[in-house]
Chains A and B, each alone.
Chain A
C-alpha cells in the first residue's frame, strides 16, 4: 500500500488524546507503506527540496544487496575460472605440474572456504535500515572489489588467454594471489564497517522534544546517517513510550493568564504602536499577582494522590486474584479426594477466570495514568496468561503496567518505522564536535547533539602494600 506523503499516521507512538469509553477503547492502526525499518526517501526529498527522480521504494532497497551479491559471486568464481579455463582450452600444451600445484590447490580450497564462511557471517544479514545517502564505506568496498577483479581479469585475458600460457604453476599461483587479495579486502571491510566505530569517541545527547526525556550515549566515529540509525536502535530500548496524554500543564491553568488589561489605542497611527501595545500588555500581566503556580501545585498533588490510591487498589486486587489459582501437580491426583474433582484449565482459561475480579481496578488505574490506549483487554489477558504459564508473581505481572516501558514493548514488529533525518550538513559527513541533527517523526523529534569525549591523561601511582600502617590518635592522661 503506497502511503501518500503528508497523510498523518495513527500508530501507538502518536495517539491523540481522546476520551475513551468505559469499554477498553481500542487504538486504530493504519498500515504504513513500508514493511521494514526504513527512512523514506520521499520525506527527505521534500525537505531538501531537490526532487530527484527516484525509483519506487521497493527496488531501491534491494539494489545494494543485489549488487553486492553479484560482485561477491563473481569474485568467488573467478579463481576457479582462472584454474579451469586453461585446462579446458589448451590442456595438451600445459606444463605438467606436480606437487607444488597440489599444495597450492589445497591452500586455495581452504582460503576459498574461509572466504565463503566469513562472507556469510559478516555480510549476509538482512539490512535493518535504509539510509538516505550512499553508505560511503560500503560503496568504497564494492568499488574496490570490482576494481580488483576487473584488473585481474584484464591481466589474465591479456597475458594468459591470448598467448595461451603454458606455465600452469604460474597460473595457479596467480589465482591464489587473487584469493589472498580478496581475503585482505574482506579484512578491510571488517575494519571499516564493523570495528572502526567500536571505540567510543563522542557522546551524543538525545532529547525527545515532546516531553524532554533525554539520554546520553557513547559512540565511535560514524557518519551522521549511521549515527542516526544507531541512536534509533537505542531509542526503542531506552526511552519510555511517548504518551501524548501526559502534558505538563493543563490548559485551564495556563489560560487564566490570558485575561489582561484592555488597551485602547487613542492615536491615529497603528503601525508603530502595535509592538508597544503588546509590550505594555505583557508588562501589565507580569506585574499582576500571579497565582497559577499555586493551582498547579495543588492540582498535581491531587492527581498524584488519586493515582496512588488507585494503584493500591490495583495491587490488592491482583494479589487477591492470583491466590485463586494454583499450578496443578500431577502427584495430587492420587491423594486428592474424589469429592472435589477440580477441573483442569489451560493457561488461557485460567487467565480469563482470574481476570474478572481485577478488571475494574486495572481499568481505573490505567485511566488515571492515561495509559488506557496502550493496553487493550485482549493484551492484558494475553499477558496474564503469559505470567501464569511462567509462574510469575503478581508483582511481576504488574511491572508492565505500573511503569511505562520502553517503546519497543508496544510495537508490533511487522511494520516499519518511518523517521526523517534532518541535518544542516550532508548526512554522510563524519560526526564532529558541536554538530546537531534531529530525527523527526510526525509529532515529536529527537534532537541529537554531539559532544566529544575528553582526552584522558592517565597517570600511575604505585602504593606499596606494606605502606598501609595506622596509628591510634591518642590523648592519654596519666596521673602522677
Chain B
C-alpha cells in the first residue's frame, strides 16, 4: 500500500456498495474516517507505511450500513463513486462521502488481507 511518487498506485481492491440510511434528515453511512493529505500520517494506527496520507476507516458502527455492506475497520478507501481518495484532504473526503444527493456510495477499498489472499491464490494456481 505504499506508493512511489510518480508511479501509478497499484493495489488489490474490493468493491463495496453502501446504501445510506436515513436518520431524521441526515443520511448516514455508519463509519468514521481518518487521514488526509492535511493530516499527520504518523498517528494513523491502521496504515503500514506511516507516511501514507490516505483515507482510512477508523470506526464502524455495529449493525450500520457500512458493516452490513462488508466494510471493516482499517480499510483504506481508494475511490468513492469514482472520485479518487488517495490524494485528498480530510474535508474533501468527508464531502464526497456525505453528498446529500446520492444515497448510495460505491467504494473501492483495499486492505492487507486482500493482498495476501491474492498471493495465496496465485501460489496455489501456479499457472495464473
Complex contact A475–B94 (CB within 8 A): no
Complex contact A473–B90 (CB within 8 A): no
- Specify which of B28, B34, B40 is in contact with A477 (CB 8 Å cutoff): B34
Residues of B close to A477: CB separation below 8 A = 32-34, 58-59
A428-480: which have CB < 8 Å to B?
Answer: 473-480
Complex contact A480–B29 (CB within 8 A): yes
Residues of B close to A473: CB separation below 8 A = 40, 42-43
Tell me how far the C-beta of A267 lies from the nearest C-beta in chain B, rounded to whole angstroms: 77
* Cβ of B84 under 8 Å from chain A: no
- The majority secondary structure among interface residues of chain B is mixed
Complex contact B90–A476 (CB within 8 A): yes
How does the 8 Å CB contact mask read for B68-107 relative to A, with 1 for contact and 0 for none? Answer: 0000000000000000000000100010011000000000
Complex contact B39–A475 (CB within 8 A): yes
Count residues of chain B with CB under 8 A from any CB of chain A: 19
Complex contact B40–A478 (CB within 8 A): no
CA distance A477 to B61 in the complex (A): 14
How does the 8 Å CB contact mask read for A355-399 relative to B, with 1 for contact and 0 for none? Answer: 000000000000000000000000000000000000000000000
Residues of B close to A480: CB separation below 8 A = 28-29, 31-33, 94, 97-98
- Specify which of B29, B31, B40, B97 is in contact with A475 (CB 8 Å cutoff): B40
Residues of B close to A476: CB separation below 8 A = 34, 39, 90
CA distance A478 to B77 in the complex (A): 14
Q: Smallest CB-CB separation from A475: which chain B residue?
A: B43
Complex contact A475–B44 (CB within 8 A): yes
CA distance A109 to B4 in the complex (A): 87
Residues of A close to B94: CB separation below 8 A = 478, 480
A-B contact pairs, 11 of them (CB 8 A): A474-B38, A475-B39, A475-B40, A476-B34, A476-B90, A477-B34, A477-B58, A479-B32, A480-B32, A480-B94, A480-B97
Complex contact B44–A478 (CB within 8 A): no
CA distance A478 to B32 in the complex (A): 5
Q: Smallest CB-CB separation from B45: which chain A residue?
A: A475
Tell me how far the C-beta of A376 lies from the nearest C-beta in chain B, rounded to whole angstroms: 70
CA distance A112 to B40 in the complex (A): 78
Residues of B close to A475: CB separation below 8 A = 34, 39-40, 43-44
Residues of A close to B39: CB separation below 8 A = 474-476
Tell me how far the C-beta of B67 lies from the nearest C-beta in chain A, rounded to whole angstroms: 13
Tell me how far the C-beta of A480 lies from the nearest C-beta in chain B, rounded to whole angstroms: 4
CA distance A276 to B43 in the complex (A): 70
Residues of A close to B90: CB separation below 8 A = 474, 476, 478
CA distance A477 to B32 in the complex (A): 6
Q: Smallest CB-CB separation from B20: which chain A residue?
A: A480
CA distance A219 to B28 in the complex (A): 78
Residues of A close to B44: CB separation below 8 A = 475
Q: Smallest CB-CB separation from B41: which chain A residue?
A: A475
4 smallest beta-carbon distances between A and B, as pairs:
A479-B32, A473-B40, A475-B43, A480-B97
Residues of A close to B28: CB separation below 8 A = 479-480
Residues of A close to B42: CB separation below 8 A = 473
CA distance A296 to B61 in the complex (A): 70
Residues of B close to A474: CB separation below 8 A = 38-40, 90
A227-267: which have CB < 8 Å to B?
Answer: none
Tell me how far the C-beta of B28 lies from the nearest C-beta in chain A, rounded to whole angstroms: 7
Q: Smallest CB-CB separation from B44: which chain A residue?
A: A475
CA distance A346 to B118 in the complex (A): 103
Starting from the known contacts A476-B90, A477-B32, A479-B33, 17 additional A-B residue pairs (CB-CB under 8 Å) come to A473-B42, A473-B43, A474-B38, A474-B40, A475-B39, A475-B40, A476-B34, A477-B58, A478-B32, A478-B34, A478-B90, A479-B31, A479-B59, A480-B28, A480-B31, A480-B32, A480-B97
B10-54: which have CB < 8 Å to A?
Answer: 28-29, 31-34, 38-40, 42-44
Tell me how far the C-beta of B83 lies from the nearest C-beta in chain A, rounded to whole angstroms: 14
Residues of A close to B43: CB separation below 8 A = 473, 475
CA distance A242 to B48 in the complex (A): 66
Tell me how far the C-beta of B29 lies from the nearest C-beta in chain A, rounded to whole angstroms: 5
CA distance A474 to B34 in the complex (A): 10
CA distance A479 to B38 in the complex (A): 17
CA distance A475 to B38 in the complex (A): 9
